[in-house]
Structure 1
């Protein structure tokens, strides 16, 4: 029997949080039973295109929705479903224009899922338009998914989160892969010249949401107290140049390493001593689940759902706290500590990728209608 093909909707196939979760599931799911195909909103290829195609997935490319192309965008979706009657389930991880395409999918008989990965809006006119478009989702989608309850309440409203069609889908990770390894630590530290250093780290795209400006201010305070401190910034994005300029202006260029996008995040996390996340908002960051799987101490903004505190390794600071207070929290670990294996804790909380994947696979099969 041929695999049931589920349609996954994303913006781009880059190494963001939602994309990483989808790929973690895709690698783990029994692809002889459930296969993923993707609709993306870009003509360009990104980090995961090659892997998806190697795993048997198809990638369809749509124009990015910008309000002005509303009718053309709807025509694209109508044409797609008319030409592809094989799909029975559509899972929208990109919700900005989901209120446009999910009703069309329902018209063609698909089971529709809207999945929230974030718990707070950005500022600006474009975001206000996106916020308006997400309001109908709670009544348009057949099923409402969220990575955390905060993300669910923000996207769908508190009342919707009490319905029977609302599910928390935990951001599971491969706990074996991300478990701390002294060999991985030594390898990365040798590669990046980090031997004997107190390594502060962050893995995220350079975007206004991630608030790297505060992170640099926090590191400047850490550096004042610990001359061996190094900041490891993993990722890429539109604001990278601006952050590089800020680092230079503070005289920290010799102490901050910009690695760009890396595929060996498990190794990178083993090499760190403290992970700091200063984001303005998040849903439930996959990167912080991975960091906890690595036994890494974390200092994170309290705008992130407390659900992220799966272990006792997460400490929260406020965005209103001074950079010095953030720095003092991180500096507690400058003398080192034993990295413990947190696999059992993470699995017990339901954040192991096998548990997440099994839950979704059962859901897809239960809701598949020929």
Structure 2
């Protein structure tokens, strides 16, 4: 019987901070056959949420490099690391910034260089958008393979007509399915009675997630329906400002900030309506999770329509304003109950099946590069 050679993949993570990209990679890492493919993680030294112990327990290595803002130091450290470890595959997750690590990877002779598009761009981030637009023309220069979380994200970074694979933001479907007992426990911990309308949001507390707008919408909903609650889970630099905003609006008693939650599947069980008013999303992993859990959802129309999988998910323009969002959230609540979708709607997002495909993808690229 032929011995299968282990492929060690270096994942360029940038700043790990508890966001969706990290969740994507870790979900695959937990389910991939680590006798065939092993992950190492290369992170910026100013990362704030790094699952170091789990990475170690799963057999991976964790390496820190200077932040990309110190570009000369970053490139020197990364080049040395890639050379010493002789990685056959480098997989970069930092969108337009992938030009920097993949350029170094090519320079030191890494044969398989994967650029991964996880996001696009939206209004309200002029400085960041200018940088993205300046770097985007180089997106196809250094990779040997291109992947994206959606057609939308792939076409934005690599261009329409460019060859790229869609690697879905897959999840544990069974873990997210509705469970009445868990719902009761979670809502009790929040102090939410059965008749209370619980609006939820899961995501990094950064400007792109637009949680300040959600608080404005919830304030209007709560004024008309006092038996309501908003739960914003996650961490990020804007948490203090969001908590202050809720306090100043007199909402401290009905807006919860549970912080970074390891098992987000429990959170969805307690929600009645999931709200995602993002300025932009390459995909919208939390919106997928909410739908799998059967939660009615309202999301910005700047989220990819590829993640709208059930009739209980509504896309709404942010330009319609906080009052319209409040009315739509309440309308979704009044419809009541969990909206169970047929299993085949979510089949392509099953993490076990998707992990087998990713293994095959890595092995194919590795074999082609060795010919």
Task: Name the TM-score class by shorter chain.
Answer: over 0.9
Query: Match for residue 119 of structure 2?
Result: 118
In structure 1, how many angstroms separate the alpha carbons of the residues matched to 2:342 and 2:24?
Answer: 18
Note the alpha carbon deviations across 1:199-245, whole angstroms, 9 max, x for none. 00100111011111210111011112211110011111111111112
Q: Quote the Cα distance in structure 2 between the aligned partners of 1:227 and 1:345.
A: 38
1:189–1:123 CA distance, 2 compared to 1 (3 A): same
Instruction: Tell me the matched-pair count.
Output: 362
* Cα pair 1:42 1:64 within 8 Å, conserved: yes
Using structure 1 for the length normalisation, give the TM-score: 0.93
Could you tell me which residue of structure 2 aligns to residue 147 of structure 1? 149
Cross-structure match for 1:345: 344
SS in 2 for 1:201: strand
- Cα contact 1:179–1:341 (8 A) shared by 2: no
239-248 or 298-307, larger mean C-alpha shift: 239-248
Correspondence list, 1:307-318, <5 A: 307-318=306-317
Displacement of 1:340 after TM fit?
4.2
Answer yes or no: is 1:101 the counterpart of 2:101: yes
Q: Matches of 1:354 and 1:316 in 2, distance apart?
A: 29
Report the secondary structure of 2:355's partner residue: helix
Contact kept? 2:168, 2:354, Cα under 8 Å: yes
Q: Does 1:38 align with 2:41?
A: yes
Per-residue deviation, residues 160-179 of structure 1 (Å, max 9, x unmatched): 2xx3xx11111111100011
For 2:110 and 2:265, locate their aligned partners in 1 and report how far apart those are by CA, in whole Å.
41
- SS where residue 302 of structure 2 aligns? coil
| Structure 2 runs not aligned, ≥5 long | none
Aligned to 1:187: 185
| Residue 169 of structure 1: aligned partner | 167
1:304 Cα deviation after fit: 0.6
CA contact (8 A) 2:18 2:235 kept: no
Q: Over aligned residue pairs, what C-alpha RMSD do you find?
A: 1.8
Question: Any idea what the Cα deviations from partners look like across 1:48-104, whole Å, max 9, x if unmatched?
Answer: 2221111111011111112xx33332222221222112x111111113432122122
Paired with 1:130 and 1:156, the residues of 2 have a C-alpha distance of: 12
Shifted more, 235-244 versus 95-104: the winner is 95-104
Secondary structure in structure 1 of the residue aligned to 2:297: strand
Structure 1 residues 150-159 or 336-345, which shifts more? 336-345
Confirm or deny: 8 A CA contact 1:203 1:233 kept in the other structure.
Answer: yes
User: Which stretch of structure 1 is more off in the superposition, 13-22 or 228-237?
Assistant: 13-22
User: Hey, what's the Cα distance between the residues in 2 that align with 1:234 and 1:360?
Assistant: 29
Answer yes or no: is the 8 Å Cα contact 1:178–1:266 preserved in 2.
yes
Contact 2:281-2:302 within 8 A present in 1 as well: yes
Q: Deviations over 1:299-333 (max 9, x none)?
A: 00001111011222210110100212111111123
Q: Which secondary structure state, in structure 1, belongs to the residue aligned with residue 29 of structure 2?
A: helix
Query: Residues of 2 paired with 1:261 and 1:101: CA distance?
Result: 29
1:235 is aligned to 2:234: yes
Which secondary structure state, in structure 1, belongs to the residue aligned with residue 333 of structure 2? coil
Q: Write out aligned runs for 1:70-89 (5 A).
A: 70-85=71-86, 87-89=87-89
- Unpaired segments of 5 or more residues in structure 1? none
Give CA-to-partner distance per residue, 1:262-321, whole Å, 9 cap, x none.
112111100000001111011111111111110010000001111011222210110100
Q: Would you say the 8 A contact 2:92–2:101 is kept in 1?
A: no
TM-score by length of 2: 0.92
